[in-house]
Amino acid sequence: MLTRTIKAGCIAMMCLMGYSVGIMGQIITFNSPAPWLTLRNDSVIVKAQLDTSKFKEKKITFTVTKMENKQKKAIAVKTFKVSDFTQDFALGLAGTGLLGGKDYIKIDWTIPGATDKGYCAPIGIAGGEKINKIQPMHISKAIGALDIKNVAALVKDKKFSQVQKAEFLSLWDSAGMAIILKKASLKDAVKFTFDGKNGKNAFVSYPDKMIDYIAEKDSLHTYINERAYSDSIAYTEKVWTNDISKASDKDFAMVKIPWYDLGIAKPFEGRIMGFAAFSVPVKGPMTGFPDKALLFVPGSWGSLVLDK
């Protein structure tokens, strides 16, 4: 977790930013922020280590750019004096409370009087004071076996949540959790996402899991995402080897997920994980639960709490 100055805990996150042409020595290393880092507010402050012998004019210029909705916007261009081998540079405010998924900040650097340059990207923001406060979703411990044969008793007197028109609820036991869907409420696919570490990150990563229930086929699609960055951020579906199962009767579909498939070694009352659900229509935009959730931004998801 980063402090408001975005420095604490970042020393170990070394990011090689660039090399002088024809010289093997490293010119500048950013300790914070670093690629794929999630800032906790929109103040961009960089701690850097510098090879001062390469700065003939004793200056460095930073350009901060925000990439949002495929649009490029320059936020700040600042030139600083280079006076020491380690310095802090306050680059200003990004002007946003949440930035992630396929949107990000890029920091370019150049050395006046030289050809050396480099950049750091992608950088996301999940500002705690600006993100919508969302009430966690509490799920009860199952009384009886999590089995489709017991589903009527399991859901009796339980309140279902809703995304678009799809109704679902979750229960848990020591082996895993179950998501139960009312089949009569289903028209399109429903996507469930899990962040077992509950890191509130700006970008989806390998530990984040995706489960699609396709109503038309009464089937599951389970996967993780490989993410990459060159000039933009891309996510590619990868196989998620797991022991997730599904069972159905005429009224309900039950998806059972072992804890180890979510990266959770041992569940306990009060355990929290990141969670969101999305209605995925054949045509039109997705609808999220919670309603402000964005698929590729775990920082916008809600929290799921294990109750008694």
Give me the CATH topology for the region 137-306: Immunoglobulin-like (2.60.40)
Percent of the chain whose pLDDT exceeds 70: 90
Q: Report the pLDDT value the prediction gives residue 242, as an integer from 0 to 100.
A: 97
Q: For 246-284, write each residue's pLDDT tens digit.
A: 999 999 999 999 999 999 999 999 999 999 999 999 888
> Over the chain, what is the mean pLDDT?
89
Tokens 């045509």 sit at which residue?
A: 283
Confidence band, pLDDT 50/70/90 cuts, at residue 17: very low
Confidence band, pLDDT 50/70/90 cuts, at residue 130: low
Q: Report the pLDDT value the prediction gives residue 198, as an integer from 0 to 100.
A: 86
Confidence band, pLDDT 50/70/90 cuts, at residue 91: very high
Confidence band, pLDDT 50/70/90 cuts, at residue 30: confident
Q: Does 137-306 match 15-126 at the fold level?
A: yes
Confidence band, pLDDT 50/70/90 cuts, at residue 24: very low
Q: Is 70 left (phi over 0), alpha (psi -120 to 50) or beta?
A: left
CA distance 134 to 32: 29
Q: For 210-254, write each residue's pLDDT tens digit.
A: 999 999 999 999 999 999 999 899 999 999 999 999 999 999 999
Q: Report the pLDDT value the prediction gives residue 133, as an integer from 0 to 100.
A: 79
- Stated as kind and residue range, the H or E segment containing 155 is helix 151-155
Class of domain 15-126: mainly beta
Confidence band, pLDDT 50/70/90 cuts, at residue 296: very high
**303 has which bridge partners?**
274
pLDDT higher than 90, residue 96: no
CA distance 67 to 64: 10
Confidence band, pLDDT 50/70/90 cuts, at residue 162: very high
Domain boundaries, the chain: 15-126, 137-306
CA distance 27 to 59: 13
b/e per residue 59-70 (b: at least 16 CB within 10 A): ebebbbbbbeee
* Cβ count within 10 A of residue 188: 20
Q: Report the pLDDT value the prediction gives residue 12, as an integer from 0 to 100.
A: 27
Nearest to 193 by CA among 85, 264, 289, 53: 289
Helix (H, G, I), strand (E, B) or coil at 216: coil
Tokens 């480099």 sit at which residue?
A: 118
Count how many Cα atoms sit within 13 Å of the Cα of residue 187 in the half-sphere of its side chain. 9
